[in-house]
């Protein structure tokens, strides 16, 4: 039996919350409070948080409670991730965060319609369920995971679909780091509109 999540966004399946350093992409190195919502059906075979996929395993939690927790930390930035956070209506959560003076950042595959009020959208498009036009249009950063050589073409296809000011990142898939990072280095030197993003939190041994 599938549990229903209320459509008003007042209750959300919360997998975990943690205060750490943003490890990836444009905001790398900045302290932020992470809110990880459960549920994803995109199915990336290399996903590094498969425990998030089944939303039923993660307790429905009041968005008001999540906002209160976020307020308790020195950094006034939150990263909403998952799972796939855009499975849910994020209007209520992000309105509450912004009203508390907290900047709202999202990590998304873009496979579901955009909801919420965002100071920064990180779009990481996936072949397994392609991003929707409204998320492509809102992306401040495009972060493509490089698992094999064909992902460079995939990256260029999506770079053509985002805003001209969107920052462009290539991030090695973690298990393929040793094989793909040298290719990414060469690619970025030849195509300098792209930058490298590494999962620096994994090197730092922090969440
Ligand atoms: C776990 S996902 C959750 C948010 C959303 N579902 C998405 O994919 O963007 C967070 C970020 O981690 C990236 N990621 C997941 N597994 C990875 C891996 N094995 N190596 C590198 N990056 C990975 C995703 O592409 C995404 O940018
Ligand atoms: N430190 C840290 N930075 C991150 N940036 C994106 C993450 C994610 O899983 O969405 C992540 C994460 O899990 N930890
Ligand atoms: S879309 Fe994100 S959470 Fe879902 S399987 Fe892919 S990397 Fe994992
Ligand atoms: Mg992660």
- DSSP codes, 26-85: TTTT-EEEEEEE----S--TT-TTGGGS-GGGS-EEEHHHHHHHHHTSS--EEEEEES-G
* Length reported for the chain: 207
Residue with the smallest CA separation from ligand 1 atom 22 is: 173
Is there a binding annotation on residue 207?
yes
Residue with the smallest CA separation from ligand 3 atom 6 is: 44
Is there a binding annotation on residue 47?
yes
Whether residue 12 is predicted with pLDDT greater than 80 in this model: the reply is: yes
Residue with the smallest CA separation from ligand 1 atom 20 is: 173
Q: Which ligand is nearest to the CA of 78?
A: 2
pLDDT in tens, 143-184: 999 999 999 999 999 999 999 999 999 999 999 999 999 999
Q: Which ligand is nearest to the CA of 129?
A: 3
Cβ burial of 92 (10 Å; 0-12, 13-18, 19+) is buried
Q: Which ligand is nearest to the CA of 52?
A: 3
CA of 60 relative to ligand 1 center, distance in Å = 23
More confident residue, 18 or 2: 18
The pLDDT assigned to 179 comes to 98
Is there a binding annotation on residue 36?
yes
CA-CA distances (angstroms) from residue 89 to 17, 133, 146, 149? 18, 17, 29, 35
Structural domains in the chain, CATH included, are 11-42+49-204 (3.20.20.70)
Minimum-distance ligand 3 atom for the alpha carbon of 109? 1
Whether this model's pTM surpasses 0.90: yes
Q: How far is the first Cα of the chain from the last one, in angstroms, to the nearest whole number?
A: 32
Residue 186, CB-side half-sphere exposure with 13 Å CA sphere: 6
Q: Partners of 60 in the beta sheet? A: 13
Whether residue 10 is predicted with pLDDT greater than 70 in this model: the reply is: yes
Minimum-distance ligand 1 atom for the alpha carbon of 36? 3
pLDDT in tens, 111-124: 999 999 999 999 99
pLDDT in tens, 189-203: 999 999 999 999 999
Whether residue 4 is predicted with pLDDT greater than 90 in this model: the reply is: no
In the predicted model, what is the mean pLDDT of the chain? 98
What CA–CA distance (Å, rounded) separates 174 from 13? 26
The pLDDT assigned to 2 comes to 58
pLDDT in tens, 71-110: 999 999 999 999 999 999 999 999 999 999 999 999 999 9
Q: Is the CB of 40 under 6 A from ligand 3?
A: yes
Minimum-distance ligand 3 atom for the alpha carbon of 41? 4
The pLDDT assigned to 101 comes to 98
């Amino acid at each position: 039996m599938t549990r229903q999540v209320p459509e008003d966004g007042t209750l959300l399946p919360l997998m975990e919350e943690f205060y750490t350093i943003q490890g990836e992409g444009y905001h790398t190195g900045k302290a932020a409070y992470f809110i990880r919502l459960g549920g994803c059906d995109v199915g990336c075979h290399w996903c590094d948080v498969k425990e998030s996929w089944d939303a039923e395993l993660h307790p429905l939690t009041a968005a008001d409670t999540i906002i209160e927790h976020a307020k308790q930390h020195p950094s006034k930035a939150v990263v909403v991730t998952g799972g796939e956070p855009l499975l849910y209506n994020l209007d209520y959560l992000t309105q509450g965060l912004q009203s508390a003076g907290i900047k709202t950042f999202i990590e998304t595959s873009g496979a579901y319609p955009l909801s919420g009020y965002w100071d920064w959208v990180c779009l990481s498009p996936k072949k397994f369920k392609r991003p929707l036009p409204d998320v492509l249009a809102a992306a401040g950063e495009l972060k493509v995971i490089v698992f094999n050589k064909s992902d460079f073409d995939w990256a260029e296809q999506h770079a053509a679909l985002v805003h001209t000011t969107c920052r462009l990142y290539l991030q090695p898939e973690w298990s393929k780091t040793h094989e793909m990072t040298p290719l990414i280095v060469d690619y970025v030197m030849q195509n300098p509109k792209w930058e490298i993003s590494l999962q620096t939190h994994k090197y730092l041994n922090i969440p």
